[in-house]
Structure 1
Amino acid sequence: MTKKIGLILGSTRPSRISPSIAAWLQKTMAQPDLTIDLIDLAEINLPLLDEVEIPSTGIYHEAHTQKWHQLIQGYDGFVLLFPQYNWGYPAPLKNALDYLYKEWAHKPVSMVSYGHHGGFQAAQGVNLIIRGLKMRPLTNNLQISLNGADLDDQGHFIDTDQALAPYAFNAQQLGAEFSHVLAD
């Protein structure tokens, strides 16, 4: 039976490179028993958390929250893809995670951070959040260090496959880990 993984793009900046990384991950993580869908927070466009009830109640009044709930509850696991901004994670990712609670609980999750130093500090912060949401952190998490020589004048990859080649084995292992964890 095919399992669904939601690959959440945690950056909404117009100049972001996360769509390139996400497409590469989607291809590189591929497994016969997994469907990996891209979930772009720039397209979801959630306002700052505006629900009256706390998310753990599962009572959602706003149409955008109900739509987000429907989308997220349909996934078996998640990859959170995010850059490091000033040693932290992007606010839209935190906001999107905070909107829900039960929908995240007990689902496997991996973090793929990126930045000029791999996004280590951002990953530490997100790790606390996913634990608070009772998600199941996987052992395979990527920290992609951006190399200026791989980027053009606009900060986009010249050749995404070449730039991310050092991370291919770990991305393949991540796909295999999802397959194993969700095989039950």
Structure 2
Amino acid sequence: MTKRVLVIMGSVRAGRRCPAIAHWVSEVGQERTDLAIEIIDLAEWSLPVDDEPGIPALGLYKQPHSKAWSKKVAQADGFVFVTPQYNWGYPAALKNAIDHCYLEWKGKPLMIITYGGHGGGKCAAQLHQVSEALKMRPVSPMPAITLSNAIIRENAPLDDVTFEAALSLVQDGWTALAESLSSSM
């Protein structure tokens, strides 16, 4: 049976680089695995902050958007978070999406891919800690894609050099995720 992996884009900002990076990450995953990969753009999910009367750990969702998000997350076998590092952390939209569920994440493997002017190691460390609290199974490596100042500040296009520097780590991450999914059968 084919395992389903959601590649979740952690940024919803205008002018973000996340869609291009998430698509590239997904293409690398398709080349390296036989997983069913779906890209999730959080900008397309209306997930208001704290609008559920109960706590997510109980799974008693009342809002239609929470029920839909819960179902989407629950149907996945594993995840890849692709996210920028903002001020040494990760975006609020990603934290909100994570916090909308609880049991739906449990026991599932996660690859964390960050990007930014410093790559995103501090962001990845925070996400790793949160994923462990959710009883997820984060895999190594946690690729960090360093973007040049021109890409960040001058809106220069993403280039092959940027992706080539991270390619082997992203490939290794997909291999680790696929192995983790195989061991959870």
Cα separation, 1, equivalents of 2:161 and 2:111: 23
Could you list the runs of 5+ residues in structure 1 that have no partner in the other structure? none
Cα separation, 1, equivalents of 2:28 and 2:128: 23
* Preserved CA contact (<8 Å) 2:6 2:79: yes
Q: How does 1:34-73 map to 2 (within 5 A)?
A: 34-73=35-74
Deviation at 1:91, TM superposition (A): 0.3
Q: Deviations over 1:65-95 (max 9, x none)?
A: 0000111111000011111111111000000
TM-score relative to the length of structure 1: 0.93
Higher mean Cα deviation, 135-144 or 62-71?
Answer: 135-144
SS class of match (1:16): coil
SS class of match (1:46): coil
The alignment's C-alpha RMSD in Å is 1.6
1:5 maps onto 2:5 in alignment: yes
SS class of match (1:29): helix
Deviation at 1:140, TM superposition (A): 2.1
Deviation at 1:155, TM superposition (A): 4.9
Cα separation, 2, equivalents of 1:171 and 1:73: 24
Q: How does 1:109-120 map to 2 (within 5 A)?
A: 109-120=110-121
Deviation at 1:149, TM superposition (A): 4.8
The structure with higher relative contact order (CA 8 Å, sep 6+) is 1
Partner of 1:122: 123
Cα separation, 2, equivalents of 1:59 and 1:151: 41
Among all aligned residue pairs of Structure 1 and Structure 2, give the percentage whose two residues are the same amino acid.
39
Question: Taking structure 1 as reference, are residues 152 and 85 closer, same or farther at Cα in structure 2, changes over 3 Å only?
Answer: closer
* Preserved CA contact (<8 Å) 2:59 2:101: yes
Partner of 1:177: 176
Could you list the runs of 5+ residues in structure 2 that have no partner in the other structure? none
* Preserved CA contact (<8 Å) 1:3 1:76: yes
1:16 maps onto 2:16 in alignment: yes
Divergent runs of 4+, >2 A: 148-156
Question: Taking structure 1 as reference, are residues 163 and 152 closer, same or farther at Cα in structure 2, changes over 3 Å only?
Answer: farther
Q: How does 1:92-103 map to 2 (within 5 A)?
A: 92-103=93-104
Count of residues in Structure 1 that have an aligned counterpart in Structure 2: 182
SS class of match (2:101): coil
Cα separation, 2, equivalents of 1:179 and 1:86: 31
Matched to 1:13, the amino acid is R
Higher mean Cα deviation, 145-154 or 127-136?
Answer: 145-154
SS class of match (1:182): helix
* Preserved CA contact (<8 Å) 1:17 1:156: no
Greater helix fraction, Structure 1 or Structure 2: 2
Matched to 1:181, the amino acid is S
Deviation at 1:46, TM superposition (A): 1.1
Cα separation, 1, equivalents of 2:108 and 2:26: 19
